[in-house]
Structure 1
Amino acid sequence: MARDGAVYVCQSCGAAQSKWSGQCQACGAWNTLVEEVQARPPGALATKRGARSHGLAFQGLEDPVAAPPRLITGVEEFDRVCGGGVVPGSAILLGGDPGVGKSTLLMQVAANAARRGISCAYISGEEAVEQVRGRAQRMGLADAPVRLAAETSLRDILDGLKREPFDLVVIDSIQTMWSDAHEAAPGSVTQVRAAAGELVRLAKKRGTAVILVGHVTKEGTIAGPRVIEHMVDAVLAFEGERGYPFRVLRGAKNRFGATDEIGVFEMGDAGLAEVKNPSALFLDTSGERAAGAAVFAGIEGSRPVLVEFQALVAPSAYGTPRRAVVGWDSGRLAMVLAVLETRCGLSLGGRDVYLNVAGGLRVNEPAADLAAAAALASSALDEALPQDCVVFGEISLSGDIRPVSRMESRMKEAAKLGFKRALAPKDVEGAGGLKIDGVARLAEAIAKIGDGDWR
């Protein structure tokens, strides 16, 4: 029998039930219900009988609004993703796979900010102070005036931050924090929600910028209830493929800046180095382009990025052909293959198809459809695309090539890197001196690739 005041909370979605069952009724997950005793959080409001309400003070939309000030940390790629710097009083949630470099990045952010006169604290719940200090020494940051602490008690952390205020506080990580106001185990949904709520409340009340590190699940989502992502002002994802030194910081939510902005880093012996020109990093311009490769002119946030799509179409050794894709949406690949077969007569149904985005970057925009189709057709026809050609455009189910956003920026970036022509939607005006090979339908693009004269 459950104790008085106890409920069963799903550790996957955070839903509460009055009694235990094998399956959560909200999200359908199995064996995720854990008994937790509900208690009033330390910051909860208590309403007294007879207390007077101050009411609401309404204001009009026409009232002037000043732009929020920014804390410039000195790590330009991080500041770019945050919208030009960290806003005082904001709460930022940074998530990423284990070992991707979250702690390394935030140590560099805190150290560079402290050197610029911003008071910073780094509180670790996973490592001892000696371990954090040792990492800073290996990165050459030992002289930065960052205050360190190793603590998991939420009450002690809040008391310490109230006694000694800081401009920027890093909490590594939110899953290790626990509150004595709740009997749930550290890392549970109740504890994570309570710790995040109290730290966000502290940030808003005292004007301290708080950066929370969050672990991710095997599905790639930040562990804990989704309400944490609603509490904070910005959600940043730190991504990186194993085997590649490149790391991409991507903004998924930002109340003070643009979303889908990216910052690119390269992991080295001394930490993370900022990459000023990602296009040059993700491209290999050393030799002739092989069949099955197409350079895509994409947009990530406000920045144009050129990346190479690599495809291999091979005979299938089994009855069911394989479809493998890295760095692109597998559903989008299935759609492009269907259009190639139905609208262009390119037989791919009985062959293995492999598609890879070079450099470990993940591409999400529909403008990459034509680049993927061009790489697949180039491999299937064994015809290489011109070395100086970039490709972009969206493919419809009817086989039409549709225009995409910010085409001028894409072509200017390509021209800056030495490209001379673009396979793009029809009626697009050239920019940066690029010659446009316009196509209205996918069949026209495939015909151009199969015809060696266009090169």
Structure 2
Amino acid sequence: MAKVKTKFVCQECGYESPKWMGKCPECGVWNSLVEEFENEINKNYIATTTNILTPLTVDEIEVTEEERLKTGLDELDRVLGGGIVRGSLVLVGGDPGIGKSTLLLQVSKNLSLDGKRVFYISGEESEKQIKLRAQRLNVKGTNLFIVSETNLDIIERHIKNLKPDIVIVDSIQTMFKIDLQSAPGSVSQVRESTLTFMRIAKSLSIPIFIVGHVTKEGAIAGPRVLEHMVDTVLYFEGERHHTYRVIRAVKNRFGSTNEIGIFEMKGDGLKEVLNPSEVMLSGRPENVPGSAVVCSLEGTRPVLVEIQALTSATAFGMPRRMATGIDYNRVVLLMAVLEKRVGMQLQTFDAYINVVGGLKLDEPACDLGIVCAIASSFRNIPIDSKTVVIGELGLTGEVRGVNFIEKRILEAQKLGFERCIVPFENLKSIEDNLDINVIGVKNIYEVLEEVLGG
């Protein structure tokens, strides 16, 4: 009898070792190496295979623009780049209970009503459990097929027999290939399962959505190669105890990675938020210090967001800094500019900054909004509720230009704002027929003069 060979594989990064180690030398995680059986590789595979493809020149390859499948959710279509591409493999990740299964079941409903055959594979719920959720979402139809299965060989047989237009797998961590000796969810199983679905998607031109669990750090569980293999990676973000959800593409071979889609969780499922600016500003207090409105550009969509700041005298030797929805290091940098260039003595004050609505802002055009909110709270002077501030702030206190300035101003004008403070160098690209007062500023002193009166 042949000796069974084993190896130890890190469940975080996929590092392989012939012996067990307490700490993975690749990613530095403790107690992550798990023993797995090695599989014999068929060395005669290349010699016996008959379907070897002939290399072609780029001019010989014929490509036609295929029509994308519409999901029935404009927000999701926007993030995907216009719809679902046939033969694509899409990975959807998010925290437990955030609404991943609900979103995909609603997509299944819309596609099945449009005459498409949808195959929903669940490895976590039984058919009856899915039926109960489907009743709550009013999902019906004879084009939606559901199976509770985790064996990849059986699933592949089902797909070839059904010939669906789209396949949904919930989740990839529950799938297993019987040839592998490791448990479902391990690095080897996740990698092989993803390779199998990728082969099915490409060979049969069937788009496949796979749900991925996330770790406590927020990254998709399993090997990093999982995200490299798929065509699109979507993250479903938001607090599970809040109503708003944001879907964001961090990788997309068929569209932009800057687009976001916003949904609201209700009793009968997820509802699209078609005007996020109006939603993000609803309930905003007026004439309260520490509140400023900025216009952030998420892909091609301008979104007006309120930034709130609170400064209070610290009771400790080291002042506390907290930032939610904004990069912490960016906040510390902007506060240093206020201390050095303007003379605000913030070193004895705690500072708390929050982006209302749960969005995460990562573009420099929001710098002036952060600075104005902090200065407004520090001086206890409210900012005019009809004013929007847009611009990037440099370390020397200069205000730098931003892109798509006219699109941002039009969004502010549409929501009834009367004044917009922008970088001075952007004035030359703004039309004169706007119904909003546009003021150009060159440095932080002029910004605070316009916003706080000095």
- TM-score in terms of structure 1 length: 0.94
Matched, 1:257 2:255: yes
The aligned amino acid for 1:135 is R
CA RMSD, 1 decimal = 2.1
Q: Deviations over 1:156-191 (max 9, x none)?
A: 111111111111111000011111111111111111
Q: Which of 443, 446, 450 is the equivalent residue of 1:444?
A: 446
CA distance in 2, matches of 1:137, 1:240: 25
CA distance in 2, matches of 1:387, 1:125: 51
CA distance in 1, matches of 2:283, 2:48: 74
Structure 1 residues 24-35: aligned runs within 5 Å: 24-35=24-35
The aligned amino acid for 2:302 is P
Q: Secondary structure at the match of 1:78?
A: helix
CA distance in 1, matches of 2:372, 2:102: 39
Aligned length: 448
Shift of 1:4: 4.2
Go from structure 1 to structure 2 and tell me whether the alpha carbon gap of 1:413 and 1:52 turns closer, same or farther (over 3 Å shift). Answer: closer
Tell me, yes or no, if the aligned pair for 1:8 and 1:16 is still in contact at 8 Å.
yes
Tell me, yes or no, if the aligned pair for 1:112 and 1:144 is still in contact at 8 Å.
no
Tell me, yes or no, if the aligned pair for 2:319 and 2:347 is still in contact at 8 Å.
yes
Q: Deviations over 1:39-95 (max 9, x none)?
A: 2689x991127979654112239x774333201121111111111110110000000
CA distance in 2, matches of 1:291, 1:355: 13
Q: Deviations over 1:362-414 (max 9, x none)?
A: 11111111111111111111111111111111112222111111111111111
The aligned amino acid for 2:47 is K
Tell me, yes or no, if the aligned pair for 2:259 and 2:300 is still in contact at 8 Å.
yes
Tell me, yes or no, if the aligned pair for 2:384 and 2:451 is still in contact at 8 Å.
no
Go from structure 1 to structure 2 and tell me whether the alpha carbon gap of 1:49 and 1:156 turns closer, same or farther (over 3 Å shift). Answer: closer
CA distance in 1, matches of 2:257, 2:212: 19
Q: Secondary structure at the match of 2:277?
A: helix
Tell me, yes or no, if the aligned pair for 2:280 and 2:304 is still in contact at 8 Å.
yes
Tell me, yes or no, if the aligned pair for 1:175 and 1:214 is still in contact at 8 Å.
yes
Q: Which of 405, 408, 415 is the equivalent residue of 1:407?
A: 405
Bigger drift between 280-289 and 360-369 goes to 280-289
Go from structure 1 to structure 2 and tell me whether the alpha carbon gap of 1:196 and 1:289 turns closer, same or farther (over 3 Å shift). Answer: farther
Go from structure 1 to structure 2 and tell me whether the alpha carbon gap of 1:272 and 1:390 turns closer, same or farther (over 3 Å shift). Answer: same
Tell me, yes or no, if the aligned pair for 1:111 and 1:144 is still in contact at 8 Å.
no
Aligned to 2:313: 315
CA distance in 1, matches of 2:114, 2:287: 45
Shift of 1:319: 2.2
Go from structure 1 to structure 2 and tell me whether the alpha carbon gap of 1:331 and 1:270 turns closer, same or farther (over 3 Å shift). Answer: same
Go from structure 1 to structure 2 and tell me whether the alpha carbon gap of 1:343 and 1:164 turns closer, same or farther (over 3 Å shift). Answer: same
Structure 1 residues 58-137: aligned runs within 5 Å: 58-60=57-59, 65-137=63-135
CA distance in 2, matches of 1:149, 1:447: 64
Matched, 1:433 2:420: no
CA distance in 2, matches of 1:76, 1:56: 39
Aligned to 2:337: 339
Identify unmatched segments of 5+ residues in structure 2.
none
CA distance in 2, matches of 1:408, 1:56: 48
CA distance in 2, matches of 1:290, 1:152: 55
Aligned to 2:145: 147
Bigger drift between 429-438 and 267-276 goes to 429-438
Tell me, yes or no, if the aligned pair for 2:93 and 2:214 is still in contact at 8 Å.
yes
Shift of 1:427: 3.2
CA distance in 2, matches of 1:259, 1:281: 23
Q: Secondary structure at the match of 1:355?
A: strand
Identify unmatched segments of 5+ residues in structure 1.
none
Aligned to 1:163: 161
Aligned to 1:195: 193
CA distance in 1, matches of 2:267, 2:52: 58
Q: Secondary structure at the match of 2:46?
A: coil
CA distance in 2, matches of 1:91, 1:34: 28
CA distance in 1, matches of 2:41, 2:168: 22
Tell me, yes or no, if the aligned pair for 1:7 and 1:19 is still in contact at 8 Å.
yes
Q: Secondary structure at the match of 1:200?
A: helix
Tell me, yes or no, if the aligned pair for 1:428 and 1:436 is still in contact at 8 Å.
no
Q: Secondary structure at the match of 2:382?
A: coil
Runs of 4+ in structure 1 displaced over 4 angstroms?
A: 49-54
